[in-house]
Structures are given as structure tokens and as C-alpha cells.
Amino acid sequence: MVRSPSTSTSRSRRSSAKGKAPELTRDKLIEAAGHVFAERGYRAATVREICRRAGANIASVNYTFGDKMGLYTEVLRESVRAAQTPAMKAALDLRLSPQDTIRGVIRARLTSLCQESRPEWHIRLVMHEFSHPTPAMTRVVEEGMRPIYERVRRAVSKIVGLPADHETTRLSVNSIIGQILFYTFSRPVLSRLQPELQLTPDQLDRIADHIADFSLTYLRKVGHGNHHE
């Protein structure tokens, strides 16, 4: 029997719709879970509430993610992936000088963490995870954070003239990261201490330049001392 073109087209559309359905459910679960986990933390959040907000069947969590921890891990990974912007990829270009690498990473990370377009639940979720770590932390650190950390550590190592695992190198990297995170996690306090400080794109550029200048001045001083020993 020869199928009519309209019949074939209809079946093709149904097949395409079925293929998109699981993906749509997955996206809805991640979005809903992001809000619930950010509000309540991993332990207090329930799969029932997440599915209610997503308009999904409770069984869909196990089917798509394995279990609650699998869903949480994917949500956390999604939040970290959102910070992997084109600017960050450009900052990690191996052809850049150590100084340009540090400047680029600072600007990319600061802009990514503070940009208004990024859902607020991303930040609150990470804050919950930092305060109350779960088994998901290891995977997220290895996949999303370590590559950037190691790249900055190598850049700092070259400037200060010390091994990448030297205490001064590690402390210097921690200080750079700390300055960036300060503007992310201290925004509620900053808005009261410095109400005139508005984290607009232009302001974030100036803050990024300040953090880079401040950090590189110290790194060059350390490096100058080591090169003359």
C-alpha cells in the first residue's frame, strides 16, 4: 500500500513531537528544581514539589536523572555551565600572556556572576552548596571550576616565578578569586554600605580593571623579588 504524502508528514510530525517531549520535560524539571533547591537547599527540597512546579510526573525524575541527587547534580552543573561564557573561553586561550589571562578571567567571571540576565537562583544555589556541600560538589568542581583554577594558577606561577603548588602561588590565586566572589556574595551588604555602587556593565569593567591592577601589582612585586634572588 502506498502512503499518501499527508500521512507520512503527519507521522513524521508525531515522531518529532515525541522526541522533543522528554527534552522539554527535562528542561522544565531543571528550571523548577533550580528554584526549589535555591530556596530550600538540597536536603529540604522535595521531588514532589519540584515536579508540581514543573508540571511533571514524579516518576519522570527517576526516569530522566536517576534520583534526586542526579537531578540536583545536573542543576548545579547547569548553573556552573552558565558561567562558561565566550568571554571566559577567550580568556583561557593558551596564546595569551599570563597577565592577559588573569585580566580576562577576572572580567569574564565577574561579569558572568553579576550580570542581571543570569537567573538569581543560580547564585543562591551555589551559595547553598558552598554552605552545605553535597556529593555533587566534587563532580561540579572537577568539570566546571578546576580547568579555570589551574589556568589562573599557571599564569600566577609564571608571573611570581614560583612553582604552581607553592604556597604563595596558591594564596595569590585564592586572593584573586576572593575579590571576584566578594562582589557576588556581598551584594545585599554592598547595596546598603555603598548604595551609589551600581553593578552596571561599565561599572563591572572598572571593578574588573581594579581587581586586575591590584592583583598584578602584588604579583609583579613578588616576581621581581624572586628573579633577583
User: Which run of H or of E encompasses 100?
Assistant: helix 98-114
Mean pLDDT, residues 186-196: 85
Q: What sign does the CA torsion over 24, 25, 31, 34 have?
A: negative
CA dist 62 → 49, 69, 78 (Å): 15, 10, 18
What is the set of domains in the chain, with CATH numbers? 15-76 (1.10.10.60), 82-227 (1.10.357.10)
pLDDT digits (tens, 9 = 90+) for 138-176: 888 888 788 899 999 999 999 999 999 999 999 999 999
61-79 tens-digit pLDDT: 999 999 999 999 999 888 8
CB-facing half-sphere around the CA of 181: CA atoms within 13 A: 11
Distances (CA, A) of 182 to 41, 178, 189, 211, 220: 21, 6, 10, 11, 23
Return d(Cα 65, Cα 73) in angstroms, integer. 9
